[in-house]
Amino acid sequence: MTAGVIGQPIAHSLSPLMMSRWIDAAGLDAIYTPYVATPHMFAPVVMALYRAGLKGLNVTLPHKTEALTLANRISDAADKIGAANLLTFVDGEIHADNTDAVGFISSLRIAGVDPKGKSVLVLGAGGASRAVTYGLKDAGARELAIANRSLGKAREIAREIAPDTEVVGWDNRNGLLDQVDIVVNATSLGLKGQIPLEMEWGQARDSLVAIDTVYTPLETQFLADARNRDLTGIDGLGMLIEQGKPSFEAFFGVAAPQGADIRSLLETKLGEAK
Ligand code: NDP
């Protein structure tokens, strides 16, 4: 059995390491391979791998939107989010799904936070925000607000994914901190090489949970500042691991094995890459 991940660049992807560890732990005769493709070559490469008998592909930047155009069937999550990170090749068809949303919600729950009934502020309105917002709405979050630099993109998410969402200007993002239970960084701020995301955590409720989608570095300034204010901080590595589990099961027909110690494997890899 063969599956893989396709993107450009792809060398930095942690998916091959993670999937290979699960393959070994499950005792499967399978391989999971990275494939690089320019936007121009994405469709031909996917179709060639489909014809070669792969079980499917994870899809990463910059192809997540284009992936939808190749599918015969699109899940509700991928349709609403407008992007697929999973293509499975099933009975002569290509199925598109998005597991980022469910991965994000699982990572919250594993950290002991149930979003049901909670009031959540999402920062950012790109692809990650669309998945996070879809997941939060699906998981029963009570109130949602999105703060983004470009207001139009936040309004689009409110219109297409979560109609009652409040849209807030970027410079007013701290104004809701005394009202919300959870704040999600779904911007690319804080990512290695980018400027950090600064928040005025002094205004936050003591019970506030801050969760980052960024995992390089594992402790962003967003999280470090929240933890210094004694708030709960959750890093983005959990989301990465949890979005991989449904993909593994879709490719290989068995659940990703428990206890494969994926987190410490990935933490070591991220540590080496510093
Ligand atoms: P996009 O490029 O689609 O969106 C980037 C977002 O960041 C936009 O909302 C953009 O605002 C905002 N932004 C960028 N620069 C600034 C700035 N200087 N000031 C204010 N806002 C800014 O990226 P993605 O949504 O695809 O990815 C976002 C993050 O999510 C990435 O860092 C990635 O690491 C993480 N991610 C993590 C996953 C995981 O498994 N843990 C999975 C997927 C993504 P504007 O709209 O105004 O441009």
3-state class (DSSP) for residue 265: helix
Q: Is any atom of ligand 1 closer than 6 Å to the C-beta of 187?
A: yes
Residues in the chain, pLDDT under 70: 273-274
The residue whose CA has the least distance to atom 43 of ligand 1 is 128
Residues 56 and 107 in one domain: no
Per-residue model confidence as pLDDT tens digits over 164-215 = 999 999 999 999 999 999 999 999 999 999 999 999 999 999 999 999 999 9
Residues 157 and 193 in one domain: yes
Q: Using the 8-state DSSP alphabet, how is residue 156 labeled?
A: H
Residues 183 and 112 in one domain: yes
Q: Is any atom of ligand 1 closer than 6 Å to the C-beta of 2?
A: no
Query: Which of 212, 213, 266 is the pocket-test mutation for ligand 1 (most atoms within 8 Å of CB)?
Result: 213
The pTM (predicted TM-score) of the whole model is: 0.95
Residues 115 and 211 in one domain: yes
Residues 10 and 79 in one domain: yes
What is the Cα–Cα distance from 180 to 28, expressed in whole angstroms? 44
pLDDT given for residue 274 in this prediction: 58
Residues 111 and 193 in one domain: yes
- In 3D space, the residue among 169, 270, 257 whose CA is nearest the CA of residue 218 turns out to be 270
The residue whose CA has the least distance to atom 9 of ligand 1 is 124
The reply to whether 269 belongs to the active site is no
What is the Cα–Cα distance from 102 to 108, expressed in whole angstroms? 10
Distance 128 CA to ligand 1 centre (A): 6
Per-residue model confidence as pLDDT tens digits over 87-109 = 999 999 999 999 999 999 999 99
Residues 180 and 129 in one domain: yes
145, two tokens: 């607000």
133, two tokens: 């917002």
Q: Which atom of ligand 1 is nearest to the CA of 129?
A: 25
Residues 50 and 128 in one domain: no
- Tally the domains of the chain: 2
What is the Cα–Cα distance from 29 to 252, expressed in whole angstroms? 10
Q: Which positions ≥6 away from 90 have C-beta within 8 Å?
A: none
Residues 142 and 227 in one domain: yes
Q: Which atom of ligand 1 is nearest to the CA of 214?
A: 34
Distance 79 CA to ligand 1 centre (A): 20
Residues 168 and 213 in one domain: yes
**The domain spanning residue 83 has which CATH number?**
3.40.50.10860
Residues 115 and 186 in one domain: yes
Which residue range(s) make up the domain with 161?
101-235
